[in-house]
Structure formats: structure tokens, C-alpha cells
Structure 1
Amino acid sequence: MKRTSPLFVFVFLSSLVLGLILACQPPSPPPIAIGLIVPVSGEFQNTEGQTTVQGATLALEQINQTGIDLNGRPTPLKLIIEDDQDSPNVAVDAARKLIAQEQVVAITGLPLSRTAIPVSNFTETVPIPTLSTTSTHPATTADKQYIFRVGLVDDFQGRIIARFAYEDLNATRAALLYDVANTARRARRRRRSAVRRGARSPGPAARRGRRGRRRPRRHRPG
């Protein structure tokens, strides 16, 4: 009778044990879906859309090198990109799709205030965490618990710019440059108003150091 090789028995038993171990392990957790709404097409596809996609993709690659620790197990992230076409209605529809069909756990992107505001109004009611990358309009996050922003609001930027110019640069006159073809007129008015308020109220430090100094003249555009 031919004897079975000990090496064959060892390989067979090792394979059997390894198979049992793998079978007993729970399946790998599915990726965590994150929605990204950006103007991939339209006027701002290069300045806001593609740059946001590139930044999010780079961050995703770095995070997925180790994964997110979910119940002690590394879990990858999955980025689902939707083109809002620089349209508020399209942006809201994209948010609905991401939540209902893709089952994302959060939404980011929305670099433009005109799309970030309507989307945030909708996602706040779901609710689902939403982060705008560069929206500066106060209404994006005002009175909302699940909406966040990276950039500072227009009013705050205007006050800080005016205070820095008055206190540090000793400037008494200011000019505001903007593209007349740009449709964000309300944002320009908010910044201009905030700069004027900041110039009129430069703060305690400036008032103490400039008593008796002529106040900066207000220049109204013609």
C-alpha cells in the first residue's frame, strides 16, 4: 500500500485550517459613501469644480491608505461626484439623489453660495451633515445645526480687512474692485457694507492710538 506523503498531508491540513479561518471572518464592511456636489460643468468648472474634485480625490486616496476605524475595522471611503451645473435646482436634485439612491452619510463641495444655500436648506431637514468648501454667504449656515463651512462669512471678512487697513497700514481710503459681469452682486454689496462699517468702527486699539485724527472719508460709488 502506497503511503501518503507527509508534505501532502501538511499542505492539505494547512489549506483546510486557513479556509475555515477565512470562512469564519465577517465580510469586509462596505465603503462609506460621501457625496460631492460641484460645478463640473459651466462657468466655474475650472476655478471651483475641477479644483474641488482634485482636492477631494487626493484626500480620499490618503485616507484610504489606512481606512476609517469603524468598530475596530478599517473601512474605506467612497466619493460620489455630482455635477450641479452651477444651478440651484440641479444642486438640490443632486443632493436628493445622493441621499436617496447612493445613501451617502455626508455631503460636501458646494463651493458657490447660490447652490450651497438651497442645498443646505434641504439637507438640514433630512438631516444629513453638509460641509461647504468656500461659500461665504451667512445664509448657508445661519440657524442650522447640520450645515458647516470652511470659509469665513463676507461680513466678517469685510470688517477684518477694514480694520487691518486702518490700524496696520494707516490707510484712510479704500477701493473695492470687482468684475461687473459677475452675478454675485449681493456678495459684493455685503463686503462693501462690511468694509465701511469696519472703517467707521476700527476698534478700541485704533481709537486709543488715533484720537483727534480725521476719520476716513466714505466714498460712495457713482
Structure 2
Amino acid sequence: MKKKLLALGLSALVASTLAAKEIKVGVLQPLTGPIASFGQKTLDGIKLVHEKYNTLPNGDKIVLVVVDGQFDKVQTVNGYKRLVSGEKVVAVEGPLASSMSLSIKRFAGATKTPTVTQIATNPRVTKGSKYITRACFTDDFQGTVAAKYALKHNLKTAVIVFDMKQDYSVGLAKAFEKAYKKDGGKVLKKLFINSGDKDFNAQVAQIKKLNPDFIYTPIYAPEEGLLVRQLRAAGVNSPVMGGDGIADPALLKKLAGKAANGVMYTDHFDPAKAPTPLSKEFIKDFKAKYGRSPSAFAATGADGYLLIYNAIKQCDTKANKTNLQFKQCINDALRHTKNLEAVTGYLTIDPKTGNPINKPAVVEEIVDGKVVFKELIKP
């Protein structure tokens, strides 16, 4: 009798295993190229939460299909097409940067693929799109945070340095300028650079002549480090603040040396200020696995995956027989996410815009290559 029961048990287990499906989720991040460290940190966060949250209540398994977008529009679009058409993923997390997210926007709509960008902050990324959802705040808010911080500290004149090639940089510069002027600040000059530039002597000379109270630099870390180094070498000591695109203290210290000290930036998360129980657990597990505290990229990467996992859990594979039906269900669930416990806080998505509601920002400062929390600013 025992043998018969054991055999029946094993048969049931085998049948259950055979019935379980693999559900593919694409991960499209810049794992090589100028902002590879951002992509790697994001992937670390995604993989960590995937280890815990990969099985659905019906036994189906979520597997990740990772593609390197290389921070290149052609490679990003090709990678997205490969994931959707070749790998038949049901959702994609990424791309990371605003310009890359904008490059795949049309394809997300055409293929009706639910896409979550965890940290692309340009407002145009989700505007008019039913299939791109965002896990982070937008530049409208991030730029306002920087402007309010500057004026709160009596920094009434500013120079803006932005990257003409990056939608993220252009959008954030506009948002800062609008908020800064509205509240009484004066923008003395807007100076532009291009991705990959290494010589900023012309911009530095103009900034030194203008002697602003504040320098706003919504650019990426590779250019930021060199710009700051050249500013300080020229004797320009005005406070410098960037956006989340420079949230790489190690790279800034490598490029700028001691000149990186005092550089500030707005960001999505600080591990010293864990906002949820899940966040505390994530920080503990991340330190144990990687031997360091999680960055905002890791935290928002985790949030993006948790949004997708939560949405997939709500969709029955039997009721949604085709891949397209299943994707539509996932997208609807994503857009109606309410009070989901995540790493950066509790996420509620506005179904009309695809953006999270009331996401706060933190202001960080780099001190000796480490990040020091300064302020939490809510919408």
C-alpha cells in the first residue's frame, strides 16, 4: 500500500513538473559601453529578486532572457526585437536610459509588449504609450527637486551644462530651468556638451567668468567626472549637482579624484533609508550576495522586476491561451498596480500615464568616494 501511494505521489509530482511552463521575461540593459556599470548594477538587483520570486502559484517558472543593449540605439532596438520576436518573451524590463527607451517605444506599441523601464526619467518615454510603464519618478519632478534644493540653500544664480545627444539630459535641463526660474532663480548660461567629450576647457572658461552660485549638470557619469575635475583645477568651487545619471561614486572618484568630493545628485533610493520591510530584506540579501550596499540602479531594477512578477501572477495562462492575450493581461495588470511593496517604496501606477504616483527623491552627496544622504524630498 505504501509503495502504491509513493508511486502515485511520484506520478503526481512528475505530472505537475511536466505541466509547469517556462515563462520568458526579457531583460534589456547596457552591459557594455560607457554606462555599463549602471546596467550591471541593475542586473544584480533584478537577479537577486528573481531568485526569490520566480515561481507562480500554478507552478509555472519565470526565466530571464538577458540581452546587452550596449547603450546604443541600433543595438537596443535589435535586442528588443530579438526578445519579442525571437525569444517570445511576455514582457521586457528595460531599457535603462531615456534615449534608449524612446528608441523602442514604437516597437513596444506595435507588438503590444508590456515593457517596464525602471529608471528612464524623460517624460516622453511613457507619454502616449499604452505599453511602457515606469518604475521611477520623471524629470519634471527630479529637475524641480534640484531647483528647490539650490534655492533653499540661497544659490540664486546657476549655469546649466547638458548633453545635446541625450534625451535624458535635455529633458532634465529644461525641467530644472523651468522650476528654478519660476521660484526666483536666474540661469546665467546654458552650455552644451556631447557624449564622449573629454575636453571641457571652453565650458569651464565660461563658467569661471560667470561665477555662478550653482552648477547644474544633468549628464552621465563619464562626462561628469572629467568636467568636475577640470572645473576644480580651474579654481571653480561652486556647488555642483547632477541627476541620477551620475549616480556612480566609484567612477566619479576614478575620473575626478578628490574633485568628486561634494558633488551632489538626485536619486531614487538610499540604502540607509529603507522605506519598506521588503527593502530591508533586499538590502540584507544584497550585501550578503555581493558584498556591498545596493545602489539605486539595483533597487529600481528590483522594482521593475517585481512589477512584472506581480502582474504575471494575476494572469491565468489557461484563460489567456495565446501569447498576445497573455501579454495584454500582463500589461493591464501592470497599469493597475496598487500599493505594491517594493524596494524603493510602495508602488501605485497611474493607469492613464504609466507613471508611479507620489514617488519621492533623495539628494545624495559624494564624500571620499562614498554616498552620504542629505535630504528626502516628496512630491
Q: TM-score band, normalised by the shorter chain?
A: 0.7 to 0.9
Deviation track 1:58-116 (CA, whole Å, cap 9, x = no partner) reads: 1110113xx222xxx23221000011122212211111111122111100121112211
Q: Does 1:30 align with 2:46?
A: no
**Which residue of 1 is the match for residue 36 of structure 2?**
45
Distance 2:46 2:52 in 1: 10
1:55 and 2:45 equivalent?
yes
Cα distance in 2 for residues equivalent to 1:191 and 1:18: 59
- Superposition deviation, residue 188 in structure 1: 3.4
Pair 1:218 & 2:190 matched: no
Cα distance in 2 between the residues matched to 1:17 and 1:217 = 78
Higher strand share: 2
Shift, 1:49, TM fit: 1.8
Distance 1:193 1:24 in 2: 58
Task: Give the 3-state SS of the residue equivalent to 2:155 in structure 1.
Answer: coil
How far did 1:141 drift? 1.0
* Unpaired segments ≥5 residues, structure 2: 191-205, 207-379
Offset, 1:172? 2.0
TM-score by length of 1: 0.73
The question of whether the paired residues in 2 share the 8 Å contact of 1:52 and 1:109 is answered with no
Structure 1 residues 102 and 189 mapped into 2: Cα distance closer, same or farther (>3 Å)? closer
- Structure 1 unaligned runs (5+)? 1-9, 203-214
Per-residue Cα deviation, 1:121-151 (whole angstroms, up to 9, x for no partner): 2111110110112212222111011101223
Q: 2:146 and 2:28 mapped to 1: Cα distance?
A: 30
Check conservation: 1:132, 1:150, Cα contact below 8 A. yes
> Relative contact order, CA 8 A, sep 6+: which one is greater?
2
Identity %: 22
Distance 1:173 1:20, change over 3 A: closer
CA separation in 2, counterparts of 1:219 and 1:160? Answer: 19
One-letter identity of the residue aligned with 1:36 = V
Residues 158 and 198 of structure 1 are in contact (CA less than 8 Å); yes or no, is this contact kept in structure 2? Answer: yes
Note the C-alpha offset of 1:198: 1.1
TM norm structure 2: 0.45
